[in-house]
Chains A and B, each alone.
Chain A
Amino acid sequence: EVQLVESGGALIQPGGSLRLSCAASGFNVRSHYMSWVRQAPGKGLEWVSIIHSGGTTYYADSVRGRFTISKDNSKNTIYLQMNSLRAEDTAVYFCARGWELEFDPRGQGTLVTVPS
């Protein structure tokens, strides 16, 4: 059974840094594309970044150069290092598996708040 548990969200001042984690169970992250998706309060879903099984990474224009996705296959965990945070980065961050972007519907994501 696929389980994804996001953590690391916090209230952080503009310009600050934060690292989010997504612990996976029920499958191996080494074998799957893994993404981060965010949702600003009261808004829709926004794709943020993806890491391929081989480690290649891609980013949305809105975060390229500021965010870095990575993974630790031994811990079955993916990360999102967020630097130079802005008010518009305020959102709940979810991780998702595969090109299908399969979320864990039991999850609630992790909230990042950057005050304006």
Chain B
Amino acid sequence: QSALAQPASVSGSPGQSITLSCTGTSSDIGTYNYVSWYQQYPGKAPKLLIYGVNSRPSEVSDRFSGSKSGNTASLTISGLQAGDEADYYCSSYRNSNTWVFGGGTKLTVL
């Protein structure tokens, strides 16, 4: 069960907008809208940021937004802040009642 593809690292400056990508296949992202995004700090459990491609839990800042095109999902963070420096993961439902995660992207705020 191969993982979804995410860039290993990205960086941005405070105030900037940045987009993280998550590439799958027609067996997951390309067919299903069960895409979620998570933020994880070291030693902590992941926090759900986006679900259903572009829905946001009420407690999550509207600086975070999600989208999908074809086999690729994206997470956009606007107004980048120092506190956004963390690891970000995507997940998707995949055929046959399984779920798959991306390998994660380490976001550095310069």
A residues apposed to B, CB below 8 Å: 35, 37, 44-47, 50, 58, 60-62, 94, 99-109
Say yes or no for B24: interface residue by CB 8 A criterion: no
Cross-chain contact of B101 among A44, A50, A104, A109 (Cβ < 8 A)? A44
Known: A44-B101, A58-B97, A101-B48. 11 other contacts (CB 8 A): A44-B102, A44-B103, A50-B99, A58-B96, A101-B38, A102-B48, A105-B44, A107-B45, A108-B44, A108-B45, A109-B45
Task: From A50, A99, A105, give the contact of B46 (CB < 8 A).
Answer: A105
Q: Which 8 A-B pairs have the closest CB atoms?
A: A100-B51, A105-B47, A47-B99, A58-B97, A44-B104, A107-B45, A45-B101, A103-B45
B89 to chain A, nearest CB (A): 5
Given contacts A60-B1, A108-B43, contact A100 B98 (CB under 8 A): no
Q: How many residues of B contact A (CB 8 A)?
A: 27
B35-49 interface (Cβ within 8 A of A)? 36, 38, 40, 43-48
Chain A interface secondary structure, helix, strand, loop or mixed?
A: loop
Q: Mark B1-22, 1 if CB is under 8 A from A, else 0.
A: 1010000000000000000000
Q: Which of A47, A58, A99, A106 contacts B45 (CB 8 A)?
A: A106
What chain B residues lie within 8 Å of A108 (beta carbons)? 43-45
On chain B, the residues within 8 Å of A102 by CB distance are 48, 51, 57
**Chain A positions within 8 Å of B102 at CB level:** 44
**For A44, A58, A102, which residue has the most chain B Cβ atoms within 10 angstroms?**
A44
Partner of B48 from the list A47, A58, A100, A106 (CB cut-off 8 Å) is A100
CB < 8 Å neighbour of A100 from B1, B36, B44, B89: B36
Is B109 among interface residues, defined by CB-CB distance under 8 A? Answer: no
Chain B residues near A50: list those with CB within 8 A. Answer: 97, 99
A57 to B74 CA separation, bound complex (whole angstroms): 30
- Please, which residues of chain A bring their CB within 8 A of the CB of B104? 44-45
Q: Which residues of B contact A104 (CB under 8 A)?
A: 45
